[in-house]
C-alpha cells in the first residue's frame, strides 16, 4: 500500500464522515475500505435512539462491500475527531475477512495516528478457523 492509497482512503473516510448521523453522541466517524479488486467502499456511523441498533462506520463500509460481492480487503481508513481506533465489534467484523487487513486510524486533520493490522488490534481473534471441526 502506497502513500497515495493512504491519502485517498483518508480523504474518502473524511468526506463520508461529514454525512454521519450522530445526534446522540455527537461523535461522527467515517470509514473507507479498499478491496483486493481496487474498489473503495465507504460508510459512516448511523446512531439510533435505541443505542444497540446503532451501526458503526466500519461495519457500514464492510456491509456495502459485501453487498457488492467483495470478500477480500486490503485496508480500511477510519477517521474520527481524535483518531480513535475501531471498537471491539468492528474489530471482530473486520477479523472475519482477514487479519492482515491494514487499519489506518486518522484524525480530522488527516494525520495518521496509527497504522496497524486487524490481527494486531484483535490478538487471538475468533474467526472462521475457530469453527473448524477437530474431529
Give the residue numbers marked as catalytic.
58
d(CA 71, CA 96): 10
Neighbouring CB atoms inside 10 A of 59's CB total 21
Q: How far apart are CA 39 and CA 72, in angstroms?
A: 11
Residue 40: phi and psi, rounded to 5, are -120, 130
Query: Mapping DSSP to helix (H, G, I), strand (E, B) and coil, where does residue 84 land?
Result: coil
* Distances, alpha carbon 63 to alpha carbons 55, 69, 82, in Å: 10, 10, 25
- The phi-psi region of residue 101 (left if phi > 0; otherwise alpha if psi is between -120 and 50; otherwise beta) is beta
Amino acid at each position: 500500500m502506497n502513500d497515495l492509497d493512504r491519502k485517498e482512503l483518508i480523504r474518502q473516510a473524511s468526506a463520508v464522515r461529514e454525512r454521519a448521523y450522530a445526534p446522540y453522541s455527537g461523535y461522527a466517524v467515517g470509514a473507507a475500505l479498499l478491496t483486493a479488486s481496487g474498489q473503495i467502499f465507504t460508510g459512516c456511523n448511523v446512531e439510533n435512539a435505541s443505542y444497540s441498533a446503532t451501526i458503526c462506520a466500519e461495519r457500514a463500509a464492510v456491509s456495502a462491500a459485501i453487498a457488492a460481492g467483495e470478500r477480500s480487503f486490503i485496508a480500511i481508513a477510519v477517521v474520527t475527531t481524535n483518531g480513535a481506533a475501531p471498537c471491539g465489534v468492528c474489530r471482530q467484523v473486520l477479523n472475519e475477512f482477514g487479519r492482515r487487513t491494514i487499519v489506518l486510524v486518522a484524525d480530522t486533520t488527516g494525520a495518521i495516528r496509527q497504522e496497524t493490522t486487524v490481527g494486531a488490534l484483535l490478538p487471538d481473534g475468533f474467526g472462521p478457523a475457530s469453527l473448524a471441526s477437530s474431529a
